Amino acid sequence: NKPVKLEHHTRANDILARVRAEKPHVDVERGLLFTESFKQTEGEPLVLRWAKALYHYAEKATVYVDKDQLIVGRGGGEGRYGLLYPELDGDTLDLAIKKLPTRESSPFDIDPEDAKTIIEDIAPYWKGKTFHEDLAKALGPETMKLTYNPDEALTSRYVVNETASFRSSLQWVHDYDIVLKKGFGGLKAEAEARLAELDEFSPIDNCEKRPFLEAEILTADAIILWANRHADLAEQQAGEESDPKRAAELRRIAETCRWVPEHPARTFYEAMQSQWFTQLFSRIEQKTGTIISNGRMDQYLYPFYKADKEAGRITADEAQELFECMWVDMAQYIDLYLSDAGGAFNEGYAHWEAVTIGGQTPEGYDATNELTYILLKSKREFPLNYPDLAARIHTRSPKRYLREVARTIKSGEGFPKLLNDEDVVPLLLSKGAKFDEALDYSVSGCAECRMPNRDTYTSPNAYINFAAALEMVMYNGRMLKYGDEVLGLQTGEFEDFKSFDDLFAAFLKQQNNLLKHAFIQQHEIIRLRAEHFATPLGSMLQKLCRDSCIDLHQPKIPGGIDLGYLEYMGYATVIDSLAAIKKLVFEEHVISLHELKEACEHNFEGYEVIRQLLKNAPAYGNDDPYADEIGKILDRTAQEFTAKYSEQIGVHMDIRLVPFTSHVPFGKVVSATPDGRQAFTPLSDGSSAAQGADHEGPTAILLSNYLTKNFDHNEHAGRLLNIKLSPGCVAGKEGTEKLVEFIETWRDLKLWHVQFNVMNNDTLREAQKHPELYRNLIVRIAGYSAFFTELSKDLQDELISRNEQEAF
């Protein structure tokens, strides 16, 4: 599992070797410079304040041109760095800096001088002003007790978990194409022209459009200034460099940073640098949960590559090296979450700035090209967990593409994940997109898809623990973890249910109650975000925002499609529990509800016989209609609820099954469940079978996924599906062909997403015992991959407990 040392990988490997050694550190510059600027601009329009803060950053922040790098720009000091976004949850900074260096999930180092800066210069300004505090104040007591623990830091209860307080925006994709074609200079000129045409008497033009346009201009100036400061530094380094080869590289870097992103890119190299500056500045602008994604890189970069190739300016290997230089840039920006919840949601320093490949053109034809294959090759030859690679698949995807995708999956790092045009495109059409917009979607999160100039909703979503809803049925509104406190509805004593239908109805009431509070959270979040955040850079790269002069964080952008999500957490855990109750209690009468509850309360200690009965009951993931029909009802009922209330809040709040690593912390609050799952262990993840519950092979998992979908409902979104294959099952040419056939079956069943770990459990166990020998072992988690040895023991164990498929 070592990076392959081909000639053109040496550079990226060397850079990576220098940065991987250290634990990531907190870099205070972004937080400090934003704080300084915000102190100066109180009372001004928010979008302008944000642009001024960006300009202050561009002027004052340290710039870096790293040794050996060809694609330059960092947001923090050398090594792996995390930035501070105090506007978000800076009220927790004092506490967080004490915990960060030693916490279990995603720890960070902090220099003592920087800790002093945080305590003295950053945190005091934000106390009482953060989004996190305002949100907590806005929630009524019933919603509050499902959201936060009643402690000072308002830590998560992992029941109805809002994620807005640890990220100002959901996963997002910019329209990079416009930067490459017009440059920020061109966008600035357009804003200036519109500013000159404003109606001097109009209140809207004066109060809304003017600050927006001024913010666009200032933001363009900021990124251009920042790029030029890189050019100055590269020139200076070139003058001091004794190696003529590196001196020439530095001069080329300087020329490139003088030109882009101000002007349209002229070459592949300039396009790459311009894209990197844009996404990095965007990371500095705001905290986008799970990061600004890269969009369809094989599409918008292809014209540059093709022209360079035809002119003899670039080879495939050189293009691959530039990609790898960008990958190691990305690997050094670490998405820093102050809260434990944020850390636990994104274990292994997760961020997945998805690169989308393949799929269809906006006209509906196959879109693969030479860059598609270079990107796949780069993932095979240069294993690194950033960025994520997402391959779009459709019914006319060429065999070569499917085979290369399968070969890349087999190389073992979990790349690429697959997204199915046959499911995604019709869904986007049903939401009101035009064909060309839907066909041109980019993958943006674990399993989410964006239409960069049509999507307008960026509010972070809620994660809802439906295994907790089940506990609330068992304990009449309570959860063992939270003692006597009544958290949910009091649906009656568990022992008193006379039929499965009554019990199921009680569960659906609890399910709807949690959905209700998720909607209340979202309603408040939408209102408050507009008062706390602005994103002038993000807005100037979104056509609808530009046209209407409205910041992307405002609740409504004319012409936009607003896609938000509610996460159905613990789907298989709930299905299997309900199936076991139905079968064993109400049909076969082998155990009573009283015995079942007692066994669960005791975490099955002394009740092993009952646990085995439960574990052998019908379960999701085995193509068993008994379990799958329950799953289908759960999904449909949740969708019906959201259809009704989405209309009221004006945003599609769609049901999705995409947990990242949060099924681990969510499981930590749920006691033993009637599927035989032990107390406080992980819940099932996404739309995968519960750990160890699937015993009918991988095709049965696909069929269960298929049979639990409600294709006639529009209120669904991504369904993440993890499948673990043993290396033997995909070995050799024959294995590749079998994997291709499996992918085709998945595609024809119109399933949303699938990803693979090709790994032996023995390897994972060895890595737990000897982490020092397995530092480069990359595993697939949930829509992203991470270094196995950087995960918590709980998550490592959970990965091992996923069933390993020996044969198709």
**Footprint on this chain of ligand 8X3 (rule: CB under 6 A):** 170-171, 289-290, 445-446, 448, 461, 565, 658, 660, 783
Cβ(164)–Cβ(131) under 8 Å? yes
- For residue 2, what is the DSSP state? P
Q: How far is 235 from 241, CA to CA, in rounded Å?
A: 10
Residues in Cβ contact with 484 at an 8 Å cutoff, skipping those fewer than 6 apart: 478
Residues in Cβ contact with 567 at an 8 Å cutoff, skipping those fewer than 6 apart: 461, 462, 463, 464, 656, 657, 658, 659, 662
- For residue 740, the tally of other CB atoms under 10 A from its CB is 17
Q: How far is 613 from 623, CA to CA, in rounded Å?
A: 19
Shortest Å distance, C-beta 564 to ligand 8X3: 9
Minimum CB distance to ligand 8X3 smaller for 173 or for 579: 173
Q: How far is 406 from 683, CA to CA, in rounded Å?
A: 29
Minimum CB distance to ligand 8X3 smaller for 173 or for 265: 173
Shortest Å distance, C-beta 795 to ligand 8X3: 16
End-to-end CA, the chain: 25
Please report which residue ranges of 26-151 form alpha helices under DSSP H.
29-40, 46-60, 86-89, 93-99, 112-117, 123-126, 131-138, 141-147
Pick the catalytic residue: 257, 446, 549, 729?
446
| Among candidate residues 379, 182, 191, the one with its CA nearest the CA of residue 262 | 182
- For residue 582, what is the DSSP state? I
Shortest Å distance, C-beta 782 to ligand 8X3: 8
Shortest Å distance, C-beta 375 to ligand 8X3: 20
Shortest Å distance, C-beta 783 to ligand 8X3: 5
Shortest Å distance, C-beta 572 to ligand 8X3: 19
360 beta partners = 366
Minimum CB distance to ligand 8X3 smaller for 461 or for 687: 461
Minimum CB distance to ligand 8X3 smaller for 289 or for 538: 289
CA dihedral 179, 184, 188, 190 (to 10 degrees): -30
Shortest Å distance, C-beta 167 to ligand 8X3: 7
SS3 of residue 99 by DSSP: helix
Shortest Å distance, C-beta 639 to ligand 8X3: 18
| Residue 132 region by backbone torsions, left for phi larger than 0, else alpha for psi between -120 and 50, else beta | alpha
Q: How far is 51 from 220, CA to CA, in rounded Å?
A: 9
Residues in Cβ contact with 15 at an 8 Å cutoff, skipping those fewer than 6 apart: 66, 67, 68, 69, 325, 328
Minimum CB distance to ligand 8X3 smaller for 445 or for 667: 445
Minimum CB distance to ligand 8X3 smaller for 52 or for 167: 167
Residues in Cβ contact with 98 at an 8 Å cutoff, skipping those fewer than 6 apart: none
Q: How far is 359 from 394, CA to CA, in rounded Å?
A: 6
Q: How far is 412 from 757, CA to CA, in rounded Å?
A: 7
Shortest Å distance, C-beta 343 to ligand 8X3: 15
Tokens of 639: 């969708």
Q: How far is 409 from 402, CA to CA, in rounded Å?
A: 11
Minimum CB distance to ligand 8X3 smaller for 63 or for 658: 658
- For residue 523, the tally of other CB atoms under 10 A from its CB is 17
- For residue 353, the tally of other CB atoms under 10 A from its CB is 25
Element (H, E) at 572: helix 571-580
Tokens of 362: 């906006």
Cβ(417)–Cβ(754) under 8 Å? yes
Q: Counting beta carbons within 10 angstroms of the beta carbon of residue 400, is it exposed (0 to 12), middle (13 to 18) or buried (19 or more)?
A: exposed
| Among candidate residues 522, 533, 151, 148, the one with its CA nearest the CA of residue 341 | 148
Pick the catalytic residue: 448, 524, 567, 790?
448
Say which amino acid occupies 447.
Answer: A
Residue count (the chain): 808
Asked if residue 452 has a cis previous peptide bond (ω within 30° of 0), the answer is: no
Cβ(237)–Cβ(251) under 8 Å? no
Tokens 């990095």 belong to 280
Minimum CB distance to ligand 8X3 smaller for 618 or for 718: 718
Minimum CB distance to ligand 8X3 smaller for 238 or for 446: 446
CA distances from 214 to 45, 60, 225 (A): 11, 21, 16
| Among candidate residues 801, 709, 690, 624, the one with its CA nearest the CA of residue 467 | 690
Task: Kindly provide the residue ranges of all beta strands, DSSP E only, lying in 279-432, ordered along the sequence.
Answer: 292-293, 355-358, 389-393, 417-420
Shortest Å distance, C-beta 658 to ligand 8X3: 5
Minimum CB distance to ligand 8X3 smaller for 348 or for 783: 783
Minimum CB distance to ligand 8X3 smaller for 35 or for 168: 168
Shortest Å distance, C-beta 444 to ligand 8X3: 8
Minimum CB distance to ligand 8X3 smaller for 448 or for 798: 448
Minimum CB distance to ligand 8X3 smaller for 387 or for 445: 445
Shortest Å distance, C-beta 169 to ligand 8X3: 8
Shortest Å distance, C-beta 290 to ligand 8X3: 4
Active site residue 448: yes
Tokens of 114: 């920087």
Residues classed as catalytic: 446, 448
